[in-house]
Amino acid sequence: MMELADKKCIPCRGGVPPMEPDRAGELLAELDKGWWLNEAGHLERQYGFGNFVEAMEFANRVTEIAEAENHHPDLHIAWARCVVEIWTHKIQGLTESDFFFAAKADRAYRDGPARP
């Protein structure tokens, strides 16, 4: 079975309903620990780092993924942390591509520099 991180984000053209909560729960269980659905129904995770530079380096890796996948999360960067918030803007809800992107962000985090 193909891992979520190996799947390609599919551009949403709009006009489709957001993912059902049960399906979102199933896919959430396939992601690394730390992801949750925030009050807006978006995927969110805070990643921790040893300093601001490492947080920025991770944000830059996520930016590269976003451009390659044409799927763009919100990034909130502070000292030693980066919060990634993902949803499909066209439908103001979640699609499978949001979970694919989350898994790609997790992979970038695992493959990045060592953490404290």
Contacts of 33 (CB under 8 A, 6+ apart): none
Number of domains in the chain: 1
Kind plus residue range of the DSSP H or E element containing 75 = strand 74-78
Scanning 1-116, the segments in alpha helix (DSSP H) are 21-28, 52-69, 96-111
Could you tell me if 91 and 54 are in contact, meaning their C-beta atoms sit under 8 angstroms apart? no
> Residue 51 is part of a domain; what is its CATH number?
3.30.1360.20
In a domain, 17, yes or no: no
In a domain, 6, yes or no: no
Q: How many of the other CB atoms lie within 10 Å of CB of 7?
A: 16
pTM of the model: 0.90
Span 60-111, pLDDT tens digits: 999 999 999 999 999 999 999 999 999 998 898 999 999 999 999 999 999 9
pLDDT for 1 equals 47
Domain hosting residue 72, numbered range: 39-116
In a domain, 2, yes or no: no
Helix (H, G, I), strand (E, B) or coil at 98: helix
Q: What is the chain's length? A: 116
Label the pairing between strands 43-48 and 74-78: unpaired
In a domain, 68, yes or no: yes
- Amino acid code (one letter) for 10: I
In a domain, 98, yes or no: yes
Q: Given pLDDT bands bounded at 50, 70 and 90, which one contains residue 4? A: confident
Backbone dihedral angles phi then psi of residue 80, each to the nearest 5 degrees: 65, 20
Q: What is the mean pLDDT of residues 14-41?
A: 92
